[in-house]
Structure formats: structure tokens, C-alpha cells
Amino acid sequence: MRVTITGAAGFLGRKVAARLALTGKVGARDITAMTLFDMVEPKPPAGAPFPVTCLSGDIANPADCARAVDRDTGVVVHLAAVVSAQAEADFDLGWRVNLDGTRALLEACRASGARPRVVFTSSVATFSGGQDAVIDDATRPVPGNSYGAQKAAGELLIHDYTRKGYIDGVTLRLPTVVVRPGRPNRAASSFASSILREPFLGEEAFLPVPESFALWIASPRAATDWLVHAAALDGKTLGLDRGINPPGLTVTVRDMMLVLQSVGGHAAMRLISRMEDKEVAAIVGAWPARFSDARAKALGFRAHEGLEALVRAFLEDDLAETKAMRA
Amino acid sequence: MRVTITGAAGFLGRKVAARLALTGKVGARDITAMTLFDMVEPKPPAGAPFPVTCLSGDIANPADCARAVDRDTGVVVHLAAVVSAQAEADFDLGWRVNLDGTRALLEACRASGARPRVVFTSSVATFSGGQDAVIDDATRPVPGNSYGAQKAAGELLIHDYTRKGYIDGVTLRLPTVVVRPGRPNRAASSFASSILREPFLGEEAFLPVPESFALWIASPRAATDWLVHAAALDGKTLGLDRGINPPGLTVTVRDMMLVLQSVGGHAAMRLISRMEDKEVAAIVGAWPARFSDARAKALGFRAHEGLEALVRAFLEDDLAETKAMRA
């Protein structure tokens, strides 16, 4: 079967593609071909044991989506999205890419007749309630930003296309992914990666929230594991409800600073400065930090590693590439 | 200010227009003009003390929506929709009218610069869980049908357009409206009106669910009162969450039969027959019948009258017109 990854030039897309190139399988099924899709043409993963087609296109353009899916497509991992601060700054672009783009992709899946497993990445940003909220599998999304509203609407598309038998969908509501490799981006949560990444590059990082601020996070390793697990899940065990809060890690900024000090020492700590950013604080301030993950655990999503392991994995997996990118 | 009603040829649209023609006001604000919009040109309400513009058009066509809203528009009551069984039978039409149509209307509101109060009618159909579920204001929509998914997605649009300041939106999740005047329609819940309407016309009605089956219902009078109340609510008291479960009435089919017998006698009762309809039973079987209405009560939505008053109101308000329609 073919596996298609949208947003495949992004860091999570590249990690999922690399993982699948390594194993050659999704669950028990062999991967015989892969399509990587993004705005800019993605690079194929090293050493893939199957042919890889790399496409550039506009996810909201039905003709472009049609090229990304065929009747042999068994799995689609849909990561293409406009991130939170950008979706907040450009309302039309956010709805176009995050809702219309998802719909165009689902229409391509429906037209293919392949009824693929679609793994959709929704977000903690679909919820609000902030530091006091505890989210469980039945909590209604009341988004505090457009990105969250678009992702929550995308979940409803995944849900209904699945119920009608056009796809076999699963939604993972991803926590804030930390440490993101590369550069700071336009996600409102970008600071959470910056404070655990920039000091290891000898760069300053700015903290727009107090040390007591809690976040719900996931490492790139955990997020990749969950996406691959979601791709292989038996849809029959899910029933009508296709949304899953994976078992993220609740950490405070203080926890992150302590690990930074423990791994990077005082030199690293000195590169962090507090700097107010009301726009960012307003977006991330609405995001809950505490989740019940009963359903995810029952479905076999693996528990999250600790915060120090997360930082050491960044140094092992992504520091060299991040340095090279900036050289 | 102008009031615009979409779906204004439908029975709820006509009742809301008639009420506003009678009072000439929304809350404390005078209505100076009204626009009625539907697929077929609606009729103006009798005795309106303001000019009424009647438009036919396609709600999913941005140019048609632009004609329905102007810079003087203070209130939009958005009732235009493809109903549940029809949306289930025609997937593309349902998403086009119920989601794209809502979005086109909201874009027209945004372009007008008027920041109107938009009253959006969502539905019990956004929820599932069926007879065992109890729904409160924080319950996540897990729709069992496309209509519910489309309405839940529409709620997210209302929510985000409001948060951005493009409109001032309120969503009412309407119960099954009973007794609908006129003919049986393609709503899956059509039977609930039929069993309290057809016998008064000397016609048979069919019951696709057992007598123990419970529903969450609202009379046309209650629904009209709530829509008008929602049009006048102070948006500042609502905060981020724009969705409201109004104080509907939980009744069983048996309750309805007892009232039918009490008001219509044995002759009426003899016109009801049990008839299986798996498609209808599957849709309505997923809808919850029990709701917490704490938020609605706190916001001043009036409590529902009893079931016998509901039936007598149908005879008073709608029986003559329903008879005339069929003559």
C-alpha cells in the first residue's frame, strides 16, 4: 500500500517519513510506495525500501490533493497546516488551509475509493480554560484562537467522512511539541521549544510567560510514535468517536528551567530572559495543561518519557541538524 | 436597524418574522427594515410596521448572501439549512448548504462591517449517546449524522467570527421542534410532529420508535421566544462560549400519546400505527433526550410549557393553516 504524508517538509512529517522508511511497514502491512506532499517539494527519506514521490502543491487545491492520493493509498498522515500565531494573524489563510485544505484532502480520499486510514493532527489549541482546566475525552472544544477552531472543525470532517465510510479516520489532539528542531516559528508556543533549544546553540531565548506556567507537551519522539501507532490502529475498536487525547506530559516552565540547568548548566540558564508578549501569552494562556489520557492508554498509545530524556533526545536526534541549518 | 432572516419561508422563519412585525423591536432597539431570504421568495409578514425586502437565492452563493446583509443590519437569524434525513441522504448538499452556506453568510456579515448579532440554530443532532446520555454545556459534540456534524462545524464558525469581532454570535442548539405545522418533512424527527398533528387532520401517522422512546423537544412558541430572546441578549454576558442548550422539554412517546388521547380522544389515538423505519430510528436513536439547561436559565431563556399546552397551542396557532395548505 501507499502512504501519503502532507506537510512532509515539516519536521514532524520528516520524522514520520524517516521512521516508515526504516520499518517499511505500518502495523503488519508493507509499505510499497510513499507520497510526500508540501508547499515546497519535500526531500525523500534516506534509504527508503520503496519508491517515494515528492510533490509540491496547495493543500486547498482539489487538483493538487488528487495527485497525492490514489486507489492504492492505505494511510494518509495529514500534517499540513497553518500554525497558530499565523492563523491568528491571517484569518482567511488559516480557514483556507486548515479547513478547506483538510476537506480537499478528504474529498481526494473519498474519490480514490481506497478508504484510507487518515491520521489527522488536531491540537490542544481546540480547548480553552487555561491553567485551571482538566480536559477529558468528552470535553467540548471552546477554542481561544482560530487555529483551534479550524482544527476542531477539521475533526468534525474526519468524524463524518469516517462515519459515512469514505475514510477510516483517527484524530490525535497533539500537545505542544517540544523541542522543535530548526528555528523559532510562528506557532504561539514556539517559546517552549526555544527555551530548551536556543541555549544549546549559544543563542538567547525569551520567555513570555511566568515560571509557574504549565504546558501540555510532547517530544518529537513521542509524537512520531503516536502518529505511527494511530496509522496502524484497528478502526473497529474506536467506534463513532475518532478523537484521541494522547498521553502528553504536563510540565511547568520551572520544570523546563531545572532540566535546562541540569543538562546545559549555568551557561545555558543565563541565555533565558523574561520578555512580555501579550499576543503570545493570550493564545497559550487559554490552552489547558492537564489532560486525562485514559482512552489513549487503553488504545495502546505509549506513555511519555520524562523531561530530561526529552531534552537529551533533542541533543541526540536534532541538535546537529539544527546547527547545520543555521550555519 | 435591519433584521435579516434566512430560511424565512420555513415555518420557524415565518413565526419569527411575524413576531418581530408585531413588536417592531428586538429588545430595546427599533426594527427599521427587514430582509427575508430563502430558496423560494418568502412572503412578508402581515402588518409589518417597517419595509420588508423578500429575496430568493442560494445561501451558499456569496453574491446572494451579500444582498441579504448591509451596513445597517443589526440582527441576522440564520435558519436556512438542509434538514437531517436529507443531509444524510445527500452528503455533498448537506455540507454545501449547512457549512458553506453558513460561512458565506458570515463572510457577508464580516464584509458589511455591521458586526450584527447572528443567531445560529444548531441542534440536538450535534450530540450522540442516545437515551442514556445527559448533555450539559461542556459536552463535546460527537454527532451520529452529517446534519449534526455540519451544525457543530457551523458553531465553530460562529464562535471564531465572534471572537475576532466580525459578528456578535449566539448559537441555540434547538431540540426537535414539535408540533411542526404543514406536511411531514425530511427531518428524521418528522414522526414526532406527525403523531401530534396528523390525527387532528384525520390522517394516519406512523411511529418508528417504541413508546418508551424519549425525546428532547420544543414547541414552535418556545423556539420562537428563544430565538427572539437570543437576538436581544447582551453579548458581553456570554464570554468566549457562544453555544446555549435552551430549556427544552424531555418527553417520551408515551407522554405524547397520553396527551393526544386527552386532547384528541380515542378517534385520534386510532390513527397512530407502529411502523419500523431503521434509517430514521438510527438517526434519532443517537440523539440525547436529557439536557442540563443551567446556562440557558441563567441567561433568561424562558422555561418550556407543558406538553398539553404545546398541543393546544398547535390547534390554536397552526391547525387552520395546516388544513388550508392541504385542501
Cell digits for A208? 513570555
Chain B residue numbers with beta carbons less than 8 Å from the beta carbon of A139 are 138, 140
In this prediction, residue B280 carries a pLDDT of 87
Task: Name the 3-class secondary structure at A160.
Answer: helix
Residue of B nearest to A161 (CA): B146
Of B11, B95, B147, B216, the catalytic one is B147
How many percent of chain B have pLDDT more than 90? 92
In this prediction, residue A32 carries a pLDDT of 98
Residue A104 has pLDDT above 90, yes or no: yes
Catalytic site residue B147? Answer: yes
| A106: Cα separation from own chain's centroid | 18
Of B113, B223, B103, residue with least CA distance to B159: B103
Task: Name the 3-class secondary structure at B296.
Answer: helix
Q: Does A156 touch chain B (CB under 8 A)?
A: yes
Beta bridge partner(s), residue B5: B36, B77
| A288: CB partners within 8 A, 6+ apart | A124, A127, A128, A129, A130, A131, A133, A134, A135, A216
Is residue B70 within 8 A of residue B2, CB to CB? The reply is yes
Strands B249-252 and B73-78: unpaired
* HSE value, Cβ hemisphere, 13 Å, CA-based, for B138: 10
Residue of B nearest to A137 (CA): B140
In this prediction, residue B47 carries a pLDDT of 95
Q: Mind listing the domains of chain A with CATH numbers? A: 2-175+219-244 (3.40.50.720), 190-215+249-291+305-326 (3.90.25.10)
Contact A142 B159 (CB under 8 A): yes
B25 phi and psi angles, rounded to 5 deg: -140, 155
**DSSP annotation string for B223-236:** HHHHHHHHHHS-GG
Give pTM, 2 decimals: 0.96
Residue B4 has pLDDT above 90, yes or no: yes
Mutate to test the interface with B, among A91, A160, A163, A166 (most CBs of B within 10 A): A160
In this prediction, residue A188 carries a pLDDT of 85
Of A95, A147, A213, A301, the catalytic one is A147
Is the Cα dihedral B235, B227, B252, B207 positive or negative?
negative
Cell digits for B68? 441579504
Average per-residue pLDDT for chain A: 96
ipTM for the predicted complex comes to 0.96
| B172: CB partners within 8 A, 6+ apart | B119, B120, B121, B122, B226, B227, B230, B244, B246
Residue B196 has pLDDT above 90, yes or no: yes
Of B128, B140, B143, the CB nearest to A141: B140
Of A142, A153, A160, the CB nearest to B146: A160
Contact A156 B141 (CB under 8 A): yes
In this prediction, residue B67 carries a pLDDT of 98
| A212: CB partners within 8 A, 6+ apart | A252, A253, A254
Residue of B nearest to A144 (CA): B240
Min Cα separation A138/chain B (Å)? 5
DSSP label at residue A305: P
| A230: CB partners within 8 A, 6+ apart | A119, A170, A172, A244, A301
Over residues A113-141, the mean pLDDT reads 96
- For chain B, the maximum distance between any two Cα atoms, rounded to a whole number of angstroms, is 57
Q: CA of A52: how far to CAs of A9, A18, A309, B213, in Å?
A: 13, 12, 32, 54
Q: What crossing angle do the helices spanning B220-232 and B307-317 adopt, rounded to 10°? A: 90
d(CA A77, CA A231): 8
In this prediction, residue A79 carries a pLDDT of 98
In this prediction, residue B151 carries a pLDDT of 98
In this prediction, residue B205 carries a pLDDT of 95
